[in-house]
Structure 1
Amino acid sequence: MPRTELPSRDGANGRTPLNFAAVALIASALTLAAFPAAAAPSSPRANDAAVALAGSVSGTVTLSDGRPLDGGSVGVLDKSGQYLQHATVAADGSYRFNALAPGTYSLHFERGQREAEYADYVPVYWGGGYEKPSYFDLGSGQRRTGMNAVLGLGATVSGRVSLDASAVLGSSMTQLLSADGISAPNTVTSESDGSFTIRGVPPGRWTIEFRGSSADGEPYVPEYWGDRPYRSQARYLDLTAGAVLTKLNAQLSRGGSVSGRLSGPDGAPVANAEVHLQSAETPSTGVREQEATTGATTDESGRYTVRGIAPGNWRLFFYAPAGSGLRDEWWSDRPWGQYDAIRILPRASLTRKDATLTYESKSHPWGEVSRLQGVDRYATAVAVSASQFAPGAPVAYLASGTSFPDALAAAPVAAATGGPILLSPSDRLPPAVADELRRLQPKRIVILGGGGAIEPAVERALARLTTGSVTRIGGADRYETAAALSRTRFAPGVPVAYLTSGSKFPDALSAAPQAALGDAPILLAPGNDSLPAAVVAELKRLRPEVVHIIGGGVVGPRAHAQLDALVAGDTIVHSGPDRYATSAMLSDWFDYGVSVAYVANGTDFPDALAGGPVAGIGSGPVLLTERDRLPPKVAEALRQLRPDRIVILGGPGAVSAKVAARLRSLSG
């Protein structure tokens, strides 16, 4: 992933905005206390010395039509931007500051007590700028005169904010922003019907930001001038002195929503956690990292809902309550600083964005080892299914238990749709699988692959085990099948897609949980220097921002160039020296203290294939091992992860008792 600046609890830049009125009051008090001239002199000679050191500043302030700024205000600022003193402008436009110590200062000329009368004029700093102060030096005893200023006429814009679908507006806010995101110094008048007038806008290029919520408090998507949901996409108005623009209206849309539940390692709800959403960098649309933010707080049941989210790619993260001992976390169950972007569609609701927060301390117990196994690969897949899926499953997938290609890309689709992957020989349905389908009572069954992978006789048997449909997803080859699977689930504009070998299974099995967690498709490549036409077509349709290439030798230089032309953002290769090291590398995406890690045989595919959706739903990695030896890289990855549970997929014939004993010894 590209490196990003981590958000601070105190805001995007980690600073709390200053209350300038409070700062001015405090600074004035400090100034009076600090200057010798303000204190009672110890002797006439000391008083004379203090007076000699003090300087003064004076001048006149007028409006651009020549009138004096009678009743206006002038502030003295130090080099840090803090206000030190204020003076009221006299009827003839004059002002004066005495007893100023030697130093560097600026002046700010404001409307003061007659804000309403002077609302069409633009406050300025000394030197004439409205945005940044210009500074001058005041020497010991120096008297600077002629420090004059003119407040020019600004522009006026007006319009009305409303909500779509005839929703009743509850409240609204409107402001003008520069291209740098700086708010214009102006006077805003807002009415309960959403009407607004903004006066005293400095000449220049500005966009308008509109915000609003419904009468029941639901926030709507913020909008910028030109019907744009992000400031990076906004259109700008060229405003001149005295210009008056009317009917600058905006109708805000309801937007999408994200909801879920936060729990701790013991499953108890986590209340009062902060849930944050920030826009993810999206080169294809120009949206910048962190330019838009929103969020919510979890309730007593650990649940949250964030509404009024603009369509696009977002990153989701959670701040644990202070003092809880729990660790802050990114979606989805990722270490701090890493994230899987989520895609928000217009008005769509994303649910079950749950997270299990882990302990900050590494001292909690970990590493309980268990097995999910059966008498053969088909029964093992049944055991894996039974560990996760309850009766009434929305769907169940059936794949060949003797050939891996058709099901390699199925894990993220199965996890997203809430169904297991079960296995079968091509010509008959094993009794254990039929019994599991009777238990599951799936609303539909999907066969992965063509008639050569699962024959029509098996299809007919399946029809008797569901009240819904039995369909197939397949293509002329494994690459078309993976693309067809992707089309059933993923809409254009996905944040992430995965590309891995279609001729070797291990890397795809290791990548399955990450793809499932990130709700991202897996596509396959043949390992030569050209991408299959079906893969190219699907990438063109998906338009992913990032493609993760899992494993070495998946694409050659020319195929990589093809990818670069198809992907708006980055193509990132994740590859270790062997399949075991690659699976360990991919497990780095998970934080220590994860609830579960799965271990499967790396030389045969069935057990890990069935485990992919379960690992994705359970937010745990799949690590690969040799039958009789736990690779050192995998052992080290497990020590770093410190999972609460380690689940072996398959019996001793796949992962031996010796390896199981080694796994148990890791936490000792």
Structure 2
Amino acid sequence: MFFTVLAVGASMGPAAAQVGGTSALGGRVTDDTTGEPLAGISALAWIPSGEAGEEDGGWVGVASATTQADGRYRIGDLQPNDDYRVTFDDVSDRPFRYTYEAYDDAQDIFSGTDIDLPAGTELDGIDAALTMSGGLRGRVTDAVTGSALADVDVFAEPLVGEISDFRLGTVRTAADGTYAFAHLPAGDYRVRFLPQSTADRYAQAWWRERTTAVAADVVTVDRARIREGVDAALQPGATLAGRVTDPDGRPVAFVCVELYDEHGAAVSSGFVGDLGMTAEDGTWRIEALPAGDYRVRVAGCGGGLIGPEVDDVGWAPAWFGGDRAGDAESVAIAAGEERGGVEITLQRGGAVTGFLTDAAGAAVGWACVRAVDAEGWVVAESETHPGDPEAGEGVAGGYQLTGLAAGSYRVLFSDGCSELTGYAPVWHGGADRFEDAAAVVVASGTVTDDIDATVTAEGATVIGVVRERDGGPPVPDVCLDARPRGSAVPVVSGMTGPTGEVHFSGLPSGAVEIIVRECAPGSFTSYRGTLTVELDPGAELDGVVIEAADQVERLAGPTRVETAVEISRATRPSADAVVVARADDYPDALAGAPLAAQLDAPLLLTGGSALHLAAAEEVARLGAETAYVLGSETALSARVVADLEASGVDDVVRIGGANRFETAALIAGRLDGDAVYVVEGGHADPARGWPDAVAVSGLAAAQARPIVLVERDRLPEETRAVLGTAASATIV
């Protein structure tokens, strides 16, 4: 839904009438799905909080009104202002309130649309269509004892954007470990569980039983519904500790300690006070960590704008077990384990300093300065000083990069990290590409100065959107790199907004490649895409559409049962039939894969004594009328059949023999294919037998070829009978 406010007197937009004296504005609020009017919605008018001509980013509410039964509201006695904004907040006692938003279809006041309200104007048409909220609830327990955990903070973190009222996305568990979110905007979330302090000795976790955000399962919140069972069992937190020294064995204080998991994603305990910094004696300690394998990096913690004079060249970063990430030694810790002895020695770093000026020789402040190593990685970053004393000590246009390991670098000057300079990027030496830039050699313990640059060209701007290919929806929160065509290293980076919008400034002229990529190891997305644009200096190219495709989709649950359900949910809105196999052993499910493919049915897993709740819910969601149960009652009990019928299945067909070999042979008799695959169906060593069999299951399903089972040194009679009628057989 989109609304537009035009200036009063324009030919389109909210209706305005001259009434004399003060002004008023109003409109109608409705349900965005049904269109029904909404009563009990507070409409609040805001104006900027700064003095005239200033924009300090603050807003002050000045007057409000509540919608009536017809959904209408009117805010009167308003002073003229051309920067009004209006927010809508459900203040009713509905069990599911409507989500907060600002005019015009904005998430919050800061992204709202300005409304021009001249003196004596009655402005109508400031409407809103609101979304009904939903909720979720669950219980948090100790993974070891099963006892309830009170006072655990629970965060509902949207996959896209943010919740405009942060209070709606945070709750705390009660004495019995339960929690509930009652007014979440409908959408997809990751749910995080965080004890209030490291003293609680539990590691933070994400649903379902995940230790990192990237691995977390997604929870979908639907309007007017409570999602049940979003539970967590918290593991005891682990502790990692060590000491940092210089080459002479003296302690190195106040340097930062960083942890990275096996995927390269940064990890912390999640606590605000956990900075991972060495003490005066060089020791460090990070508590309440999830179990896992970590690599440990130590580096300077950075600082503000200082330069170009350097008082301390800093310490070169180092990893436990090596100077580079590829040489680092992995440290494994189990739940509740306390491990020390992670000793790291730091070498003195080097520093680079210089100035940035424009073509007239004037200092250029707030420009980004980056040291890029020979492999194209940014290893240090700073900004040129603006010359304003409020920005701290320094000289206008000066910068310093400290804590650099000895080696060769290229230095890039680009549009500001925190402010925009309006200039196109340039490398030290005047080049516009990394490959042509002048090398800057840094030695340990020394300062390399006079690494200056001059910006001359005005930067270009690209405005547009990233969309999925073939006219798909916008792609929010993915990272973008811009680089001259033919170069391997980007000169400007950014990120799409909550609606996939792109606003890239400070770009070079000529042919520029804009690349869509994941933001970092552990990113929630894996989109890829590239667009080349031709830019003139200072040009603004609007309406650009960059197409991208998601390369990877993870389908996973906390156990194999839920993983099978996730595969079904991702591939089928409904199904006439389901195939059900035992979850604790592979042969029946393996042989059943071609049957499921022939029936166009999902293959679900369950325990043998009863139908797993997740599988039962999936059967009901699919609306399946027929279920094929693989295995005898020894494998899947009569209770499983009864539970399937209770889930809405009309016809349960059991395909089960006296053993796995006969079950596979019976399944083969129902398949159309006359060629078979022969695989090992059991082995005394549980790590043997199944890998080759599983590897061929997808191919067998695609070809509708039966899978029959043998032992390593025996051909069962049941399998021999199938082979006697088969046109051909392939041994895997």
TM-score (norm 2): 0.36
Higher normalized contact order (CA 8 Å, seq sep 6+, divided by chain length): 1
Between Structure 1 and Structure 2, the one with more strand by share is 2
Between Structure 1 and Structure 2, the one with more helix by share is 1
